[in-house]
Chain A
Amino acid sequence: MAEITLKHILIVDDDPTTRRLFGSLLARAGFEVLYGKDGNEGREMARRLRPDLILLDLHMPVMDGMETADRLTHDPDPLVAHIPIVLLTSEDLSIEAQKAAKELGVVEYMQKGVSNEEFIERVKKILETTQKTAPSAE
């Protein structure tokens, strides 16, 4: 990946401090960070700005992470529908929930409890693997 084409990562979380923490970590690691405070705003931003990765909080009021993911992956715009989504959770997901998430097109789920370093590392890895399959944003 070239230095000039900065990767855009959208964080959708209802908790501002959590958004700020992960946003700061990502920014520090050289990513362009976008913020959405709920599912609707997240969808809106994803459609308008088409980020390279969406980090989606599972527990959100009004529209939770699962539903938001469902709508995004079924978006009429294939460029939107193909944006890789990572679910952020504060707990272990049950096998059933993991399976359901996978069916919705969620790439993987990540515990918010992971260390700063692990968080960045895993984000980078996901971008690498999805970059090869995802259609170009050009």
Chain B
Amino acid sequence: MPKNDVSPALTAEANFYAAVVESSDDAIIEISLDAIIVKWNKGAEQIYGYTAKEAIGQPASLIIPKDRAGKISKSLAVTQKGESVANHETQRLHKNGKLIDVSLRMSPIWDASEKIIGTATIARDITESKKALFYARSVIEAGLDPMITISPEGKVTDVNEATVHITGVPREKLIGSDFMNYFTDKEEALQGNQQVFKEGFIREYPLTIRHISGALTDVLYNASVYKDDKGNVFGAIAAVRDITDRKKVDEQLHETSAYARSFVEASLDPLFIISPEGKITGVNHATEEITGVTREWLIDTDFFTYFTEPRKARDGYRQVLKKGEVRDYPLSIHHASGNITDVSFNASVYKDAIGKVHGIFAMARDVTDTKQLSLYSRSLIEASLDPLITISPEGKIMDVNEATIRIFGVSREKIIGTDFLNYFTEPQKAREGYEQIFKEGSIADYPLTIKSLDGKLTDVLYNASVYKDDKGNVLGVTGVARDNTKVKKATEEIASTSKEMEAFSGSASHDLRAPLRVIDGFAQMLVEDYADKLDDQGKEIVTNIRTSAAQMRKLIDDLLVFSRLGSQEIKKEYVAMGPLATEVCAELKQAVPKRNVACTIQKLSDSRGDKDTLRLVWTNLLSNAIKYTGPREQAVIEVGSKDEKESITYYVKDNGVGFDMKDVSKLFNVFERLHGVEEFEGTGMGLANVKRIVERHGGTVWAEGKFGEGATFYFSLPKINSAPKTGHLWRK
């Protein structure tokens, strides 16, 4: 512009530019060809700290950091050749000596004769935005989850250490690369990103990140676009959540950083951040969905108003403040549309670094499905006619059905949460049963007596087992009690009937003996005194009478023993079994002098018991052995014993006619005979008595055999030093 040819129009134009220059926030200065500052606007005063008066006439080096002097000379030289220096970031020196970040452009200035007369530099202070950038980076780095910023073109513009860690790719290589390269499904990743830019955000978008080593990490991808203050989209910031590891939730939530926000957003569950005054200070997308109310409306409103039972919500809130946390607190959230969602709240207070409570962080879990499931299980529970009960691992009753309520005589509300041991006459035994369930997984027919509120006793048999979640953690115990009162009553009736029977058979045996003795006595006299008057047939008849009488007498004797064994006290004396068996064997052999009986008695362990009845055991077993080896030319009988852990097993083995194992269960029954009397005489009481005697001693009997190939009869007795067990069903 020629200086000496000033037209009014040109003056007006010049004034306009001058006004623009003066009103600009950017520092606009003019530097002469000899590098002296010749123009200095208001913006320059603001940015560099010097007034126009101070700056004009000074060399340009006034605002140039020393280490950049060379570069500036070059830039000035460029402009003096008529070229511009494009916008670039550099630093300038403030009057106060501090460096300031600027974005700077330089252009040549021509005069009207097209001659270059100086350089215009336009600088914008970018210190604040630089700071903001550092802040953003620190926020990104603060995130434990991988965070990525992505340009609208899908290039990675920034990452944090977690991203470097999860991808295994160094930051330099990540930046500028295509973001979808790091996912197993690039197409999916691309679609996700497109959605971000189209809709502004994406939530819980499942993707899988591939580490350069090949390791895969399932993540949920949450991203939202970031805009400048004019609403232009600059890019997207994405946080990926490693869903294989959801720990550290709490501490992360206490951060008020952008990261915390992203986490809050990332949660699938509705989240509420509540001030100590009960106002909502933060929510996430899920909260908006479950309440049907947008964030703007939720914030600063009263937390309690979104629940069907505000009072209960308030109580829950107070509990959190008091205890620091609540878990599984049930509430129902009102949706704006009127729908109600059942949720279970886990909430805890969050504190700042010095421990001051800043508020409450509450996470709701939609339990509608769970609730439906639990309604389903409740209906199952109620369907049971037997008293059903579920118990927590701590022994507290969690649920009961109507049958239980009836049997306990206490209302459901009063039962739930109480200690289940309280309802039994023998809490210790109940506890033992409970411990057994945890140890073995279940118990069957565990007898207990329930005591109702009004004192009514019910004998039950408990069947219970633990139930677990899908990870195998024991959640509790489900138990079904079967009312055993009737069975027990019947058992007692049988016991008393049986006792009467014993008494009856005892006295009957006595009364039967006398006439039998008379029959036999007279029959014998008949044979002896009237032998000459009786023909052979007559004598045979009398012999038959006597044989029958002898049989009956034996039967009565055995019955008498049997009935006595039921009631008689069993003595506990030391019994040397070896000599006892030897003695019995010798006696029995003597009774059959014509038979060839080899009775081998091994060394026998001694026992404790009633010698007389134990003698009877040996007598019965050995006489059986002798009897059933009758058809054998050489009867081979072996007696021995074997020490077990808590008992001693004795056996009598023979090479007799044996028996079929299918009949083994009948062997020890009263009057049970596997052979006809014609074949082998006997009353069918012998083994029944053996069984009774052994059981009265706390032992057991059993047998093994094969038809035609001999039999082995076993009986076990408790070891001398081991505590005797109750062997008899009816007596404790």
Contact = CB atoms under 8 A, between A and B. Distances in A.
A28 B529 contact: yes
B610 to A, nearest CB: 14
A21 B517 contact: yes
B524 A116 contact: yes
A112 B522 contact: no
B522 A90 contact: no
B514 A24 contact: no
B97 interface: no
Interface in A15-66: 15, 17-18, 20-22, 24-25, 28, 59
B529 A21 contact: no
Given A28-B529, A91-B560, A113-B553, A21 B513 contact: no
Given A24-B522, A24-B525, A28-B529, A112 B517 contact: yes
Nearest to B553: A113
A90 B510 contact: yes
Interface string B486-517: 00000000000000000000000011011101
B568 to A, nearest CB: 11
A121 to B, nearest CB: 14
Interface string B367-402: 000000000000000000000000000000000000
Contacts of B510: 59, 90-91
Contacts of B517: 18, 21, 90, 112-113
A15 B514 contact: yes
Interface string B546-559: 00000001000000
B521 A25 contact: yes
B525 A17 contact: no
Interface string A88-105: 001100000000000000
B513 A112 contact: yes
Nearest to A19: B518
Which one of A24, A25, A90 has the highest number of Cβ atoms from chain B below 10 Å of its Cβ? A90
Contact of B518 (A17, A59, A115): A17
Nearest to A89: B510
B514 A18 contact: yes
Contacts of A90: 510-511, 513-514, 517
A116 B513 contact: no
From DSSP, what is the main secondary structure of chain A's interface residues?
Answer: helix
A92 B99 CA distance: 126
Interface string B125-146: 0000000000000000000000
Nearest to B521: A21
Nearest to B528: A116
Contacts of B514: 15, 18, 90, 112
B495 to A, nearest CB: 25
A18 B510 CA distance: 14
B525 A116 contact: yes
A28 B513 contact: no
A116 B521 contact: yes
A20 B519 CA distance: 11
A17 B514 CA distance: 9
A15 B516 CA distance: 12
A47 B521 CA distance: 30
Contacts of B529: 28
A28 B560 contact: no
B553 A21 contact: no
Which one of B511, B513, B514, B515 has the highest number of Cβ atoms from chain A below 10 Å of its Cβ? B514
A21 B522 contact: yes
A90 B557 CA distance: 11
A25 B524 CA distance: 10
B525 A28 contact: yes
A38 B524 CA distance: 27
A91 B512 CA distance: 11
A15 B511 CA distance: 11
A90 B517 CA distance: 9
8 contacts: A18-B514, A21-B518, A25-B525, A28-B529, A90-B511, A112-B514, A113-B517, A113-B553
Interface of B: 510-511, 513-515, 517-518, 521-522, 524-525, 528-529, 553, 560
Given A21-B522, A90-B514, 20 more contacts: A15-B515, A18-B514, A18-B515, A18-B518, A20-B518, A21-B517, A22-B521, A24-B521, A28-B529, A90-B510, A90-B513, A90-B517, A91-B510, A91-B513, A91-B560, A112-B513, A113-B517, A115-B524, A116-B521, A116-B525
Interface of A: 15, 17-18, 20-22, 24-25, 28, 59, 90-91, 112-113, 115-116
The 5 closest A-B pairs by CB, nearest first: A21-B521, A17-B518, A21-B518, A90-B513, A112-B517
